[in-house]
């Protein structure tokens, strides 16, 4: 892990103060997987040292079209910290984001650790305690969202905040493949999708994540929250917007984007 990775990590941390930065092309090649995760890890350790607590992970780039757009053939992941969660029906403040977009997802909460060298979907499904509708507020510290795969990974998977629905259900009896998703902003539908849009099935995304983290020696643990990936296109939001997502079998989840800088 070189000095250049430390520099990239510092630039990204500084951007949280409110000033987006140029893409990290001078440090990271667009598809530099190892370098990008090295930068992400530096900031994860930094934030943990400041008292932030990891509560799970998010999976990104679960749509093939988005992978192709960034020139990769795999999803990515970022870290979820405790202070990133907004209560269902709660408020995202403008001071908490730079250029936010919302996307609707299926979230799972684990009731058991997932570790080993031959993790399969059946093992992941058995570890799921609860499933809920979620909205991820994605954001980028890179100006104008001009990101490569390396930019988004280094930037903690272009994460910001997340909202979990109050309705939580066991996995048994749920259809996470054909379940429909509708996301509304100010009562207007802005995104439609289905469970199959997330890497073929949300549990496929969770399985990819579980395997990837186990290989890195950082396995998923009981109690972890996993945001499995978008079920439809993300949508840029503006101050004053009320965002609500409905997912078949899981009910609704919502938040309001509120200007606190006046």
Label each residue of 226-248 as H, E or C: EEEEECCCCEECCCCCEEEEEEC
Judge contact between 215 and 95, C-beta under 8 A.
no
- Which of helix, strand or coil describes residue 22? coil
Judge contact between 138 and 100, C-beta under 8 A.
yes
Tokens (6 digits) for 192: 């439609």
Is 45's pLDDT higher than 60? Answer: yes
Is 70's pLDDT higher than 90? Answer: no
pTM for this prediction: 0.96
> What end-to-end distance do the CA atoms of the chain give, in Å?
42
For residue 1, name the pLDDT band (cuts at 50, 70, 90): low
* Residues in the chain, total: 262
State how far the Cα of 57 lies from the Cα of 213, in Å rounded to an integer: 10
**Which H or E run contains 65?**
helix 64-70
Say what the pLDDT of residue 84 is.
Answer: 98
Instruction: Give the pLDDT mean for 218-246.
Output: 97
For residue 262, name the pLDDT band (cuts at 50, 70, 90): low
Instruction: Give the pLDDT mean for 231-255.
Output: 97
pLDDT in tens, 170-182: 999 999 999 999 9
State how far the Cα of 47 lies from the Cα of 42, in Å rounded to an integer: 9
* C-alpha dist (Å) from residue 260 to 70, 85, 98, 236, 257: 34, 18, 13, 18, 10
Q: State percent of the chain over pLDDT 90.
A: 92
Say what the pLDDT of residue 80 is.
Answer: 98
* φ and ψ of 146, to 5 deg: -85, 70
Instruction: Give the pLDDT mean for 108-113.
Output: 98
Is 4's pLDDT higher than 70? Answer: yes
Q: State percent of the chain over pLDDT 70.
A: 99
For 65, other C-beta atoms within 10 Å of its C-beta total 9
Residue with tokens 């099935």: 201
Is 77's pLDDT higher than 80? Answer: yes
pLDDT in tens, 138-195: 999 999 999 999 999 999 999 999 999 999 999 999 999 999 999 999 999 999 999 9
**Which H or E run contains 256?**
strand 251-258
Say what the pLDDT of residue 68 is.
Answer: 84
Domain 3-258 annotated CATH 3.90.850.10? yes
State how far the Cα of 201 lies from the Cα of 199, in Å rounded to an integer: 6
- Which of helix, strand or coil describes residue 53? coil
**Pairing relation of β-strands 54-60 and 225-230?**
parallel
Question: Mean pLDDT in the chain?
Answer: 96
* φ and ψ of 250, to 5 deg: -120, -5
CA-atom Rg of the chain in angstroms? 17
Between 128 and 65, residue with greater pLDDT: 128
Is 197's pLDDT higher than 60? Answer: yes
Contacts of 64 (CB under 8 A, 6+ apart): none
């Amino acid at each position: 892990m070189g000095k250049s990775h430390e520099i990239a990590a510092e630039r990204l941390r500084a951007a949280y103060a409110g000033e987006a930065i140029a893409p990290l092309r001078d440090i990271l090649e667009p598809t530099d997987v190892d370098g990008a995760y090295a930068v992400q890890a530096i900031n994860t350790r930094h934030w943990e040292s400041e008292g932030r607590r990891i509560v799970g992970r998010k999976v990104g780039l679960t749509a093939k079209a988005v992978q192709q757009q960034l020139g990769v053939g795999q999803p990515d992941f970022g870290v979820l910290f405790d202070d990133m969660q907004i209560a269902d029906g709660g408020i995202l403040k403008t001071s908490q984001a730079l250029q936010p977009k919302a996307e609707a997802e299926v979230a799972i909460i684990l009731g058991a650790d997932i570790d080993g060298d031959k993790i399969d979907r059946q093992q992941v499904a058995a570890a799921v305690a609860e499933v809920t509708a979620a909205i991820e507020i994605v954001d980028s510290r890179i100006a104008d969202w001009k990101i490569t795969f390396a930019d988004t990974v280094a930037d903690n998977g272009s994460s910001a905040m997340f909202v979990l629905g109050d309705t939580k259900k066991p996995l048994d009896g749920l259809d996470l493949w054909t379940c429909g998703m509708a996301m509304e902003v100010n009562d207007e539908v802005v995104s439609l999708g289905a469970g199959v849009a997330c890497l073929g099935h949300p549990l496929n995304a969770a399985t990819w994540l579980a395997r990837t983290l186990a290989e890195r020696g950082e396995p998923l643990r009981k109690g972890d929250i996993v945001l499995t990936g978008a079920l439809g296109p993300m949508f840029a939001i503006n101050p004053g917007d009320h965002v609500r997502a409905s997912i078949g079998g899981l009910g609704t989840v919502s938040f309001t984007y509120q200007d606190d800088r006046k």
